[in-house]
Structure 1
Amino acid sequence: MTKLAVFTIGNGDFKTGFSMGLEIREEQGNTLSEVIGQLPPSSSIPKLYESWQSDFIEIKVGNTRMKVPKGTAKTTVTPLKEAIEKCKTSQKELKNSFKDWLKSESREFQKIRETFFKHLPDEFEEIRIFLQTRALLLKKLPWNEWDIFERYAHAEIALVPPEYSRINLAPDAIAREKVRILGIFGIGKDINTEEENKQLNRLTNSEVKFINPHKIEELYDNLQDDKGWDILFFAGHSSSSETGETGYFLINNDDKLTISELKISLQKALRRGLQLAIFNSCNGLGLAKELSDLNIPQVIVMREIVPGDAAVAFIKKFLQKFYEGKSLYVAMKEAKDSLEFWETQYPGVSWLPILCQNPAQTPLIWPKIPTKIPIKVPMLSPGVVTNQPICQEVTTLMGHSSGVKSVAVSPDGGMIASGSVDQTIKLWDLQRGELKKTLKGHTGTVTSVQFSPDGILASASFFPDGTIKLWEVDGEQNKVELKTTLRGNDWVALAIWSIAFNHNGKYIASGHNVDSTIKVWDIEREKIIATLRGHVWAVCAVIFHPQDGSLISSSLDGTIKIWNPEQEQLIHTLVGPSGWLSPAQSWFSRDVEVYSLAMSSDGEILASGGTEDVIKIWRWCDRQLQQTLKGHSDTIQAIAIAPDGKTLASGGRDHTIRIWDLSTGKTLQTLGHSDTVNSLAFSPDGQTLISGSQDKTIKIWRCFPDGSSPL
């Protein structure tokens, strides 16, 4: 799992030192450690940086992506070989002094280093480093040279603004199957953008539009395009103010634009899904600052004046790696590493590209082209007889850019819905294995998708969104309409793990993380009619009994509870302590963290799974444990019971799916993914099993009873 290291540098200066804090947390927001320390003083750093900066500019002032002021005398340019050697010296001095500064023996600084290494032991793990500071020079320093990052193969640094917030998509934002890129190329005698044009045109599964930079009004019109954009790309001349607070870019030799002049158009583009702005141009920190003030998710700029040939080499490698499916951070690191050759001509050039990240937004990942795998039917040799079901993988669905958290099958068996960490819901044709629609609107991980008996699709998401969206789905017409969004008034409820419809689709229940409650919604009235309290940790799963209308919930506190939702009454605690002391007892002594629940269609069997690596089967009539199924080697994340009640499917962190015979308690078959299996669902006829995994795929399995083939 990707980890985040957030370095916050506060008040101070290079003469007295800076206050500094470090927070280590998981990508989903769980904090692992926090520590406060102090950066020591280093009065030499500003002068050394200024020397390197000056020497770097002298190398090739005529081949930069900053427009050279008219009247600059060519005779003032230092001969190339002498300029390179001079720059190498100043780069080395700055680099050594910077590294020495960050090796301080001060205890206030050492505890930051110790915390970093303690919680980030895996050198091949992807680590995102956030640097949060207001000081311009601190933003410019080569933080990648810090020795604590040397052991990590996939660690990259991003600047983080002091204040930020999430962008909410407009209700009319259009879901896009292809990445839409708006390209702007500056025009001038001293700039060549032909190679970047070629690179963008080579990106399949994308829609690239290049606007005419001679007409400024076309830029405004295109930014406000109703279809929206994923990436804004600029190549040309740009610059920033001395304070790094503002910037501008030139669309031709005479016309320049600032971010503030495009504010309304950019805000509309953001609300329609703009995620990444790339300014492959000089001195872009001022542009990044203004874009960050608009809460754009990600920005890539150059810190200083950049040679045009090196800028092209960087963006070529970045686009290649990003398009191949590497994360934004890994693609950045590999593109910067590829500039090693250019260091011989421009010492320090690999320091220039920098990513600026809005931490409230998930980093963009280039979506893979959905791939359909030809259907495979199991072939049995003549004379082979078996009474066991055979589940055979027939299709792997690929299209999500992050792990799949939930899958569901429509009541008519024709459609699959999948929810993902990438904040989207995808609708798939089950028979053809083809993507039909991508639904956007959530601003957090889509943790649960469910169909009502009459085909309404519900989706729920995690922090910071915490909403339930109801979608009207017309499979025949391939139309989807957002009916409504359910949102609680309590901010602590903004993290939903699981949702479930009752038997007639009138109510929907949601299990919450922070406040450990279950909320029951009247869908027609769009209001909460019950808030059930009793769990002391996150509620992982909720299901309704198909006949008596009771509600069953499971939690990280180790309990399974049965409720009367209409009377807001706890009926029974199935496993774990009960009674008025149960909250305290379950907090300190948990039987098992229960992640998953499933109920047979006749309501006679309840199954549960969690961290004990076993599945428990309960009789509903007397609420007694009937049998325990053992076979998984890690936490069980998902359970589904076939409609006929004879077989059960389970999936877990051991990457396997097990098919069980409920009459004997034996494993019939072991299937699997390449990562954790998060969700399972049977089709209404029981002949198809759907699995969703952290490996970003959905697999369709056909089950052939008695070894027979329908073909």
Structure 2
Amino acid sequence: MTKIAIFTIGQGDFKTGFPMGLEIREEGGNPLSEVMGKLPPSSRIPELYQIWQCAFINIKFVTSRMDVPKGTAKVAVPPTKEPLEKCQTSQEELKKSFKDWLNSESRELQKMRETFFTHLPDQFEEIRVFIQTSDPGLKKLPWNEWDIFERYTYAEIALVPPEYSRINLAPDAIAREQVRILAILSTAEDLNLKEEKQKLEGLPHAETFFPNPHEPAEIYDALQHEMGWDILFFAGHSSSSKMGETGEFFIRRDYGLSINSLKISLRKALSRGLQLAIFNSCDGLGLATELAGLNIPQVIVMREPVPGDFAVAFIKKFLQAFSEGKSLYVALKQAKDSLECWNKKYPGVCWLPILCQNPAQPPFTWPKLLKLPETRPVLVSPLLKPTPIWQEVKTLTGHLAGVKSVAVSPDGRMIASGSFDQTIKLWDLHRGELKKTLKGHTATVTSVQFSTEGILASASFFPDGTIKLWEVEGEQNKVELKTTLRGNDWVGLAIWSIAFNRDGKYIASGHNVDSTIKVWDIHREKIIATLRGHVWAVSQVIFHPKDGSIISSSLDGTIKIWDPEQGQLIHTLVGPSGWLSPAQAWFSRDVEVYSLALSSDGEILASGGTEDVIKIWRWGDRQLQQTLKGHSDTIQAVAIAPDGKTLASGGRDHTIRIWDLTTGKTQQTLGHSDSVNSLAFSLDGQTLISGSQDKTIKIWRWFPQGSSPL
């Protein structure tokens, strides 16, 4: 599992030193260790950096990406011996002094090293190292030269801003099946960007648009395009202010753009899913700082003026590795490592590419869009043991807003989906075709459920707040609205979740405003019980298949078990208990439980929420059995396969994780381009349905033979 090491460097200077803390955590998990320390004073480091910087810039780049004042001639001259030797010497001196500084004999730094090695024992594990600082001098230092990283094959550095927050997608954001790249190429006469353009045009599962650089308005229009972009790419000249606070990039020799001048357009692009900005140009830390102020997920820039031939070689290597499925961090490290020979020509040049990360956003991944038709056979090498896999076989589109809930009919032929667009859609599961769109609700359809007899129930949020029962005749493709259940109390008009009991005679509903669970008699069309005890919204309700009790989860952090016949609370599974528990839950919102799932035999209960972990409970003794860690954000949905051995979970980190409940290990990671709101297994356990905020429903199928299709 990927580990994250966060070095947080506080306010200080090279004369007095810097306070520094180290936190190590599993991706999506709780901290494994935290230790505080201090970087000692070293006035020599910034001096040596300036010496190397000047020597590096004085090398005559064959095709520099550094902008020069208008009228200054650029001479394409290979590096001469004297400047090259001076640059080599200054690079070695800086590297040695930097290592000595970080290898200080101070007790605090030694403890930090020991903590790092103790909690990161696997040298082949992917490690994301965050350097969190606002100091412009620290941002430029070659942190990858710190010898504690030498033993790790997949450790890569990213700069992290002191302040950041998560970006929420706009309601009109459109789901994309290919990587969309907006590529801005400078027209400067001294640059040859042909190879970069060819590489961008040849990327798999991607479409690239090149706006006309002679029409600046076209760049603004493109950034605001309703389809959105995944990657913003620029190649050309750029520069940053002295303190690295602002930057500018030049699409023409006489026309530059600042991040501030594009702020509105960039915010729209970010709200529509922009994940990564790449500035393959000089001196880009100012650009990265300004983009960090907009909370962009990731930026790759060059820290100093960069030779044009190296810039081309780097971007080709990086895009090749990234588009082949390597993680963003591993692709960046492999690209730099593969270009080590360039340090002979330009000493220290491999220090220049740097990733800047917003930790509130998951790293962007290049999608693998391999479709696996049901009818094609699978080839398995006789020398390899086949590995079972889950594979996407169909993406269903048609909803105009995010999908809140999905359900599979008991005969396994149909999918129902409820959406923020206030509609319910019925789909043929095997053909992946839309059968019917049901209208009638006047608010978000928050929950859809089938009874064992095939009756479809749908519930909606405020101001509708009704439950509708639909009789679905799949063979004849007929749907009839049987009845609408509506309470008398207006505060109940906000339903988050519904569930049928085992014989389909009763429905339980979980409510937002009054934090109650209501039990409805379907035939009498009335509420027969109102269960009170939660102090925040009830996020999910489930009937136990054997004893008929109701299990409910809430944003107050509790899971409660109720006797619906007696209208009594039986047990509080997690959260505050005792006579003060309502007050405690009211004032503590650190933990919110969003999702529940129960195994078909009723013996295993799973829950997920804002803790980014899934908790597995034994029903018999109501005890916590295991905790599954892997997600990096709130878990919105959990589902247990009918065999009770497999669990699926989905969350705001856009991923679906498949877990082996026997071992507690992740078997596979799938996903969407936005939050996963709902999951449902088919009755045979061979198909998984996922509904997402990206407006799509995906059908995943289990292939026991694994491998690749013909």
For 1:521 and 1:180, locate their aligned partners in 2 and report how far apart those are by CA, in whole Å: 46
For 2:156 and 2:434, locate their aligned partners in 1 and report how far apart those are by CA, in whole Å: 33
User: Aligned residue for 2:148?
Assistant: 148
User: Aligned residue for 1:250?
Assistant: 250
User: Aligned residue for 2:551?
Assistant: 552
Q: CA deviation at 1:411?
A: 6.3
Q: CA deviation at 1:306?
A: 0.4
User: Aligned residue for 2:211?
Assistant: 211
Q: CA deviation at 1:220?
A: 0.9
Q: CA deviation at 1:138?
A: 0.5
Q: CA deviation at 1:689?
A: 3.0
Answering whether residue 8 of structure 2 is matched by residue 8 of structure 1, we say yes
Q: CA deviation at 1:311?
A: 0.6
User: Aligned residue for 2:408?
Assistant: 409
For 2:459 and 2:94, locate their aligned partners in 1 and report how far apart those are by CA, in whole Å: 56
TM normalised by structure 1 equals 0.68
User: How many equivalent pairs are there?
Assistant: 575
User: Aligned residue for 2:701?
Assistant: 700
User: Aligned residue for 1:543?
Assistant: 542
* Counterpart residue type for residue 65 of structure 2: R
For 2:547 and 2:157, locate their aligned partners in 1 and report how far apart those are by CA, in whole Å: 55
Gaps of 5+ in 2: 379-386, 396-404, 419-424, 436-445, 462-466, 478-495, 521-529, 583-594, 608-614, 630-637, 649-656, 672-677, 691-697, 705-710
* Counterpart residue type for residue 173 of structure 1: A
Structure 1 contact 220–265 (Cα < 8 Å) conserved: yes
Q: CA deviation at 1:377?
A: 9.4
* Counterpart residue type for residue 207 of structure 2: E
Q: CA deviation at 1:324?
A: 1.0
Q: CA deviation at 1:86?
A: 1.8
| Alignment match of 2:686 (pick from 681, 685, 689) | 689
Change in Cα spacing, 1:322 to 1:74, as seen in structure 2 (3 Å) is closer
User: Aligned residue for 1:452?
Assistant: 449
Change in Cα spacing, 1:57 to 1:457, as seen in structure 2 (3 Å) is farther
Q: Percent identity between the aligned chains?
A: 60
Q: Deviations over 1:66-105 (max 9, x none)?
A: 1222454779989523222221111111111101111011
User: Aligned residue for 2:569?
Assistant: 570
Change in Cα spacing, 1:599 to 1:328, as seen in structure 2 (3 Å) is closer
* Counterpart residue type for residue 241 of structure 2: S
Q: Deviations over 1:95-123 (max 9, x none)?
A: 11101111011012222222222222222
Q: CA deviation at 1:38?
A: 0.4
2:42 counterpart SS class:
coil
Q: CA deviation at 1:298?
A: 0.8
2:204 counterpart SS class:
coil
User: Aligned residue for 2:322?
Assistant: 322
Q: Deviations over 1:405-439 (max 9, x none)?
A: x98535674466999xxxxxx99973147999xxx
1:112 counterpart SS class:
helix
Change in Cα spacing, 1:47 to 1:534, as seen in structure 2 (3 Å) is same
Answering whether residue 55 of structure 2 is matched by residue 59 of structure 1, we say no
For 1:323 and 1:92, locate their aligned partners in 2 and report how far apart those are by CA, in whole Å: 34
Q: CA deviation at 1:544?
A: 2.6
Structure 1 contact 411–451 (Cα < 8 Å) conserved: no
Q: How does 1:90-129 map to 2 (within 5 A)?
A: 90-129=90-129
For 1:35 and 1:5, locate their aligned partners in 2 and report how far apart those are by CA, in whole Å: 11
User: Aligned residue for 1:47?
Assistant: 47
Structure 1 contact 164–359 (Cα < 8 Å) conserved: yes
For 2:291 and 2:616, locate their aligned partners in 1 and report how far apart those are by CA, in whole Å: 50
Q: How does 1:180-199 map to 2 (within 5 A)?
A: 180-199=180-199
User: Aligned residue for 1:430?
Assistant: 429
Q: Deviations over 1:621-662 (max 9, x none)?
A: xxx99xxxx9x9x99x96444xxxxxx442269988799xxx
Structure 2 contact 165–358 (Cα < 8 Å) conserved: yes
* Counterpart residue type for residue 301 of structure 1: V
For 1:17 and 1:52, locate their aligned partners in 2 and report how far apart those are by CA, in whole Å: 22
Structure 1 contact 415–428 (Cα < 8 Å) conserved: yes
Answering whether residue 392 of structure 2 is matched by residue 397 of structure 1, we say yes
Change in Cα spacing, 1:104 to 1:615, as seen in structure 2 (3 Å) is closer
Answering whether residue 273 of structure 2 is matched by residue 277 of structure 1, we say no
Change in Cα spacing, 1:74 to 1:196, as seen in structure 2 (3 Å) is closer
* Counterpart residue type for residue 278 of structure 1: I
For 2:394 and 2:96, locate their aligned partners in 1 and report how far apart those are by CA, in whole Å: 45
Structure 1 contact 374–394 (Cα < 8 Å) conserved: no
For 2:18 and 2:575, locate their aligned partners in 1 and report how far apart those are by CA, in whole Å: 50
* Counterpart residue type for residue 51 of structure 1: I
TM normalised by structure 2 equals 0.68
Q: Deviations over 1:593-639 (max 9, x none)?
A: xx985365xxxx5222689x999787xxxxx99xxxx9x9x99x964
Change in Cα spacing, 1:118 to 1:211, as seen in structure 2 (3 Å) is same
Answering whether residue 286 of structure 2 is matched by residue 286 of structure 1, we say yes
2:283 counterpart SS class:
coil
Q: CA deviation at 1:350?
A: 0.7
Change in Cα spacing, 1:50 to 1:353, as seen in structure 2 (3 Å) is same
Q: CA deviation at 1:325?
A: 1.1
Q: CA deviation at 1:256?
A: 0.8
Change in Cα spacing, 1:29 to 1:450, as seen in structure 2 (3 Å) is farther
For 2:434 and 2:93, locate their aligned partners in 1 and report how far apart those are by CA, in whole Å: 55
User: Aligned residue for 2:604?
Assistant: 608
For 1:349 and 1:85, locate their aligned partners in 2 and report how far apart those are by CA, in whole Å: 14
Compute the RMSD of aligned alpha carbons.
Answer: 5.3
User: Aligned residue for 2:491?
Assistant: none
* Counterpart residue type for residue 351 of structure 1: W
Structure 1 contact 10–19 (Cα < 8 Å) conserved: yes
For 2:576 and 2:288, locate their aligned partners in 1 and report how far apart those are by CA, in whole Å: 54
For 1:238 and 1:690, locate their aligned partners in 2 and report how far apart those are by CA, in whole Å: 50
For 2:273 and 2:658, locate their aligned partners in 1 and report how far apart those are by CA, in whole Å: 33
Structure 1 contact 276–296 (Cα < 8 Å) conserved: yes
Q: CA deviation at 1:304?
A: 0.2
Change in Cα spacing, 1:519 to 1:94, as seen in structure 2 (3 Å) is farther
Q: How does 1:510-525 map to 2 (within 5 A)?
A: none
Change in Cα spacing, 1:138 to 1:544, as seen in structure 2 (3 Å) is same
Q: Deviations over 1:196-240 (max 9, x none)?
A: 111111113212100000111111111111111111100011011
Q: CA deviation at 1:581?
A: 12
Q: Deviations over 1:232-277 (max 9, x none)?
A: 1000110111111111011111111111111111111111111111
* Counterpart residue type for residue 168 of structure 1: N
Gaps of 5+ in 1: 379-391, 401-405, 420-425, 437-448, 461-469, 477-497, 512-516, 524-528, 584-594, 619-623, 642-647, 660-669, 704-711
Bigger Cα displacement from structure 2, 277-286 vs 541-550: 541-550
